[in-house]
């Protein structure tokens, strides 16, 4: 059933959207969550890749240093080895040790120069370094980094205490490894063979840790920017989701409380997402509810007015019967009372039908209805009851299955019957009421022509109002309640149709009522 309410309320500037108006709520929520996760993931991946590459590069440099030094020692006089080791140690900051074929240390660069690095005891450092190490451990856990062995100076210092040295002797190639100093800075070592001897190079590469932590600080700044962006996007979501929903909820609360007859519900025309659909549905619903309340109040006032007249007449007749002695006058009063009772009965019946028509159609399940057989049964029923007086009914039945609509058969019959009843009541003696139904494009058109006086232009809308009571002078009192055409209009509109009345263009006088209903889809 189509909505008969069109809201004209404007959109609040505070709820208006521009470029994001066509985003659905799912798109907005996914955008916030995915963007944040992607940035975090990319930052973590970058730092892990950067650290691994830097570690590989520093290990490669240490291997090159060990290989080059071993090559130099191989071509130098053994008496020059201590001074050569000292010179290389000064230049590179590494510690160079030489182990003989029996595994004993035979030379050490630190024996000739001051130590080039010193392992730091973490217990002597302040909280900033402890926090940095905690971040290092957390990052390693996130990326699943393989834990490194702790670096401990062996006592006694022999080749067997260095696995890389033993591996270099076994393979004849330079071998490197990385361990963690007590303060989690890397100690990079490389062992290279020199004939039957082994050269071991170790270096506490604190610059490596400073570089990685510097990159991590940059990434932390990026993450701070991401958090700020997430806050901005959260505010964006609050503005585009929570705020309009809150406004709609407040409007719905005001409608429920009934404190204002004209509650303004934002329609959000710039939004095509779920909230925009909800806003427009609530706006239409509130206006439809307001119109229904107005109609109910007007209906109640009309009912009160219409019931008072026959009740007043009935009261007068009943009061008069008690005082009147003349038999003729008493019969006339009884006749008046009987007619008033008939009118009240007609009013109560039609009022009940008018009151439940909208609610009935709102929840009805429509079915295909062929109007040809339905109207034919109505015409036959009129003729069987002989209620047409001198009027004659003629129906041009359409071909089968050509005038099919979706609807409730009994309600459609009630609407068409009301139009036929109106045409018959206004027809002159011997007049012809012509009924036709045909499909015209996407509509099924029902036409009812009479030969009565017609309907003045200024009254063509009023006759469809409730309790409109301009009736022919010859009509029996109480036969019509003034609700028949109003009920017909409600039924036709409940089927998404329309009804109107015009003068006949094929006869000197008479009215033509036309009902248009959406045609059912052809099978």
**Which of 40-54, 164-178, 223-237, 292-306 shows the lowest per-residue confidence on average (mean pLDDT)?**
292-306
**Residue 9, C-beta contacts closer than 8 angstroms, at least 6 positions apart:** 264, 265, 266, 267, 283
Give dist(CA 274, CA 2) in Å, integer. Answer: 20
> Looking at per-residue confidence, does 173 or 225 come out higher?
173
Say if residue 487 is in the same domain as residue 405.
Answer: yes
What's 397's domain CATH number? 3.30.565.10
Tell me what the pLDDT averaged over the chain comes to.
81
Say if residue 349 is in the same domain as residue 369.
Answer: no
pTM of the model: 0.47
**Residue 368 · residue 500 · CB < 8 Å:** no
**pLDDT value at position 522?**
65
**Which of 102-106, 281-285, 492-496, 517-521 shows the lowest per-residue confidence on average (mean pLDDT)?**
281-285
**pLDDT value at position 259?**
55
| Closest residue by Cα to residue 353 from 493, 466, 517, 495 | 466
Say if residue 61 is in the same domain as residue 165.
Answer: yes
Say if residue 137 is in the same domain as residue 32.
Answer: yes
Say if residue 391 is in the same domain as residue 374.
Answer: yes
For tokens 């393989």, the residue is 146
261 within domain boundaries:
no
**Residue 333 · residue 321 · CB < 8 Å:** yes
Say if residue 402 is in the same domain as residue 347.
Answer: no
302 within domain boundaries:
yes
Gyration radius (Cα) of the chain, Å: 50
Say if residue 421 is in the same domain as residue 295.
Answer: no
Q: Indicate if the pLDDT at residue 4 is higher than 60.
A: no
**pLDDT value at position 93?**
93
169 within domain boundaries:
yes
Summarised one tens digit per residue, pLDDT across range 67-113 is 999 999 988 888 899 999 999 999 999 999 999 999 999 999 999 99
Say if residue 344 is in the same domain as residue 411.
Answer: no
- Beta 186-194 vs 197-204: how paired, if at all? antiparallel
4 within domain boundaries:
no
Say if residue 38 is in the same domain as residue 81.
Answer: yes
252 within domain boundaries:
no
Examine the fold and report which residue of 362, 388, 415 is the final residue of a domain before the chain moves on: 362
What's 94's domain CATH number? 3.30.450
**pLDDT value at position 3?**
40
Say if residue 186 is in the same domain as residue 301.
Answer: no
Give dist(CA 256, CA 258) in Å, integer. Answer: 5
Say if residue 368 is in the same domain as residue 501.
Answer: yes
Parent domain of 94: 25-217
DSSP letters, 331-367, are HHHHHHHHHHHHHHHHHHHHHHHHHHHHHHHHT---E
213 within domain boundaries:
yes
What's 357's domain CATH number? 1.10.287.130
Examine the fold and report which residue of 167, 200, 217 is the final residue of a domain before the chain moves on: 217
Query: How many domains, in total, are found in the chain?
Result: 3
6 within domain boundaries:
no
Cα distances (angstroms) measured from residue 429 to each of 8, 37, 418, 512, 513: 50, 86, 20, 18, 20
Say if residue 31 is in the same domain as residue 82.
Answer: yes
**At 314, is the pLDDT very low, low, confident or very high (cuts 50, 70, 90)?**
confident
121 within domain boundaries:
yes
Examine the fold and report which residue of 316, 333, 362 is the final residue of a domain before the chain moves on: 362
């Amino acid at each position: 059933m189509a909505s008969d309410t069109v809201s004209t309320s404007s959109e609040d500037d505070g709820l208006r959207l521009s470029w994001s108006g066509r985003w659905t709520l799912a798109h907005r929520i996914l955008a916030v969550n995915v963007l944040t996760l992607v940035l975090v993931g990319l930052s973590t991946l970058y730092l892990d890749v950067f650290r691994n590459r830097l570690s590989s590069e520093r290990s490669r440099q240490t291997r090159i240093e060990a290989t080059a030094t071993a090559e130099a020692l191989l071509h130098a006089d053994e008496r020059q080895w201590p001074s050569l080791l000292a010179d290389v140690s000064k230049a590179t900051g590494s510690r160079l040790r030489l182990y003989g074929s029996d595994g004993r240390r035979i030379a050490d660069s630190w024996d000739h120069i001051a130590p080039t690095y010193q392992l730091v005891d973490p217990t002597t450092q302040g909280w900033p370094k402890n926090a940095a190490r905690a971040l290092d451990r957390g990052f390693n856990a996130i990326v699943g980094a393989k834990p490194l062995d702790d670096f401990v100076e062996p006592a006694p210092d022999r080749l067997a205490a260095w696995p890389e040295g033993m591996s270099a002797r076994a393979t004849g190639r330079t071998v490197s490894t990385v361990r963690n100093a007590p303060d989690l800075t890397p100690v990079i070592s490389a062992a290279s063979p020199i004939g039957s001897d082994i050269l071991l190079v170790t270096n506490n590469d604190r610059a490596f840790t400073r570089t990685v932590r510097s990159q991590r600080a940059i990434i932390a700044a990026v993450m701070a920017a991401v958090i700020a962006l997430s806050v901005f996007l959260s505010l964006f979501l609050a503005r585009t989701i929570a705020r309009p929903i809150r406004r709609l909820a407040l409007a719905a609360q005001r409608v429920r409380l009934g404190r204002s007859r004209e509650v303004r519900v934002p329609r959000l025309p710039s939004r095509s997402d779920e909230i925009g659909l909800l806003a427009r549905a609530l706006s239409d619903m509130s206006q439809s509810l307001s119109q229904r309340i107005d109609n109910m109040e007007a209906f109640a006032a009309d009912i009160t007015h219409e019931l008072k007249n026959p009740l007043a007449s009935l009261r007068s007749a009943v009061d008069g019967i008690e005082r009147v002695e003349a038999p003729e006058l008493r019969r006339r009063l009884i006749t008046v009372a009987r007619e008033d009772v008939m009118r009240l009965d007609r009013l109560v019946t039609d009022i009940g039908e008018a009151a439940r028509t909208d609610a009935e159609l709102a929840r009805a399940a429509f079915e295909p209805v062929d109007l040809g057989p339905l109207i034919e049964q109505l015409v036959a029923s009129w003729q069987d009851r002989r209620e047409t007086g001198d009027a004659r009914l003629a129906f041009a039945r359409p071909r089968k299955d050509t005038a099919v609509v979706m609807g409730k058969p009994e309600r459609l019959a009630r609407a068409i019957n009301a139009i036929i009843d109106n045409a018959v009541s206004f027809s002159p003696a011997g007049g012809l009421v012509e009924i036709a139904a045909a499909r015209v494009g996407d509509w099924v058109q029902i036409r009812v022509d009479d030969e009565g006086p017609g309907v003045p232009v200024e009254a063509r809308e009023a006759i469809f109002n409730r309790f409109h009571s301009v009736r022919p002078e010859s009509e029996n009192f109480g036969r019509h309640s003034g609700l028949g055409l109003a009920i017909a209009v409600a039924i036709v509109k409940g089927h998404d149709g329309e009804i109107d009345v015009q003068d006949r263009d094929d006869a000197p006088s008479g009215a033509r009522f036309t009902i248009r209903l959406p045609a059912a889809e052809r099978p």
